[in-house]
């Protein structure tokens, strides 16, 4: 979690400072020390007060967003919290950038190299135990390769050790906090309630895991589109793998969500990649990869996944007020 938290903070710190702003970094109560450490390091390079950090409980965020002395708020977090941030900022018409939740779809076409792509997709879905806004959350595999692709994903998932991050063989660590742990457990419980087919994993979070918020991966095979595991962002190590046959239909299904942060299409056919990617309703669309960002390319969400963007020229401009000066020439 610390690396991801640092990235989120630097996405805001760097453009704010480059464009001449002072900034207050407010880490989540659940995040580790790295946010405060960034502010501490910044003291060596900037005058006092230019980079500050404040830590506190859930009351601190609303105080900051409502404060009349703050002109811009850039927030990364859940969609419900982002909506509350925007509501608070609206009272003083603060400029707002919101990078919120995602339910990213990956469309796997029939011509992919299964041996190479299946492990990559599994990794990109389970990275950081699924706790990444732009992790793959929904996987659509062409029906002609679905059984083989699913088997390859399950085989790779079996090699991913869950445990203490300090152990050399650990690949997947715990869920970050108790609230999210209970939420993921409830989502996994819905798999059993809805009588969905589990291709890998156990829907019972056992008592042996009570020494930490550890949840082993769960892969759900071909659930209906209205299943809870498909509709909701899990933000944990559980995801569905569905079949598709018709290109227009799978694009419609991938877009059938209130979120639009990221999506990807996997194929060797460049024409198909271009055709599908241009129709996906997401702020970032990858071809034959996922979860990669560039500092010179805008990153933002459509729909309930955000407002505005970070990175790139647009990210810089979001920390500026545009001004036009007209002068009448003699």
Per-residue model confidence as pLDDT tens digits over 37-67: 999 999 999 999 999 999 888 889 899 999 9
Residues paired with 176 in a beta bridge: none
Q: Going edge to edge, which strands form the sheet with 197-200? A: 197-200, 218-221, 238-244, 136-142, 104-108, 262-266, 284-287
| pLDDT tens readout for residues 74-113 | 999 999 999 999 999 999 999 999 999 999 999 999 999 9
The closest alpha carbon to 295, from 305, 283, 310, belongs to 310
* Superfamily covering domain 104-287: Aldehyde Dehydrogenase; Chain A, domain 2 (3.40.309.10)
Could you tell me the pTM of the whole model? 0.93
The predicted-structure confidence for 5-46, as pLDDT tens digits, reads as follows 457 888 999 999 999 999 999 988 887 688 889 999 999 999
Task: List the structure tokens of 239.
Answer: 């995801």
Q: Which of 44, 99, 192, 248 is catalytic?
A: 99
CA 209 to chain centre: 25
Which residue in 113, 192, 196, 199 sits closest to 153, CA to CA? 199
Cβ pair 35, 4 in contact under 8 A:
no
Q: What is the CATH number of domain 2-100+305-317?
A: 3.40.605.10
Task: Give the residue among 229, 232, 213, 221 at the shortest CA–CA distance from 172.
Answer: 213
99 annotated active-site: yes
| Cα–Cα distance, 199 to 222 (Å, whole number) | 9
Instruction: Indicate the domain borders of the chain.
Output: 2-100+305-317, 104-287
- Chain CA centroid to CA 303, Å: 14
| DSSP-assigned beta bridge partners for residue 34 | none
Is 289 a residue whose pLDDT tops 90?
yes
Q: Is the pLDDT of residue 4 over 70?
A: no
């Amino acid at each position: 979690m610390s690396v991801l938290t640092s990235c989120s903070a630097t996405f805001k710190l760097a453009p704010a400072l480059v464009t001449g702003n002072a900034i207050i970094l407010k880490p989540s109560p659940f995040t580790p020390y790295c946010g405060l450490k960034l502010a501490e390091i910044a003291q060596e390079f900037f005058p006092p007060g230019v980079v500050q950090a404040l830590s506190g409980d859930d009351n601190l965020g609303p105080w900051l967003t409502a404060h009349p002395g703050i002109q811009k708020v850039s927030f990364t977090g859940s969609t419900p919290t982002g909506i509350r941030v925007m509501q608070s900022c609206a009272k003083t018409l603060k400029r707002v950038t919101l990078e919120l939740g995602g339910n990213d779809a990956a469309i796997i076409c029939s011509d992919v190299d299964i041996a190479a792509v299946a492990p990559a997709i599994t990794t990109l879905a389970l990275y950081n135990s699924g706790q990444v806004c732009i992790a793959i959350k929904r996987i659509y595999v062409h029906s002609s390769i679905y059984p083989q692709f699913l088997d390859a994903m399950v085989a790779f998932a079996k090699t991913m050790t869950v445990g203490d991050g300090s152990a050399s063989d650990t690949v997947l660590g715990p869920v970050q906090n108790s609230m999210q742990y209970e939420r993921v457990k409830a989502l996994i419980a819905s798999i059993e309630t809805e009588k969905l087919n589990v291709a890998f994993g156990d829907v019972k979070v056992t008592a042996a895991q009570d020494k930490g918020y550890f949840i082993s991966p769960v892969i759900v095979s071909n659930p209906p589109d209205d299943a809870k595991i498909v509709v909701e962002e899990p933000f944990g190590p559980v995801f569905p793998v569905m079949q598709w046959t018709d290109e227009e239909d799978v694009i419609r299904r991938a877009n059938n969500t209130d979120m639009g942060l990221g999506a990807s299409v996997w194929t060797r056919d460049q024409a198909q990649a271009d055709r599908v990617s241009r129709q996906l309703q997401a702020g970032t669309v990858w071809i034959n990869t996922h979860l990669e960002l560039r500092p010179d390319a805008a990153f933002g969400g459509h729909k309930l996944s955000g407002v505005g963007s970070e990175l790139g020229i647009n990210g810089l401009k979001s920390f500026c007020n545009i001004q036009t000066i007209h002068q009448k020439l003699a």
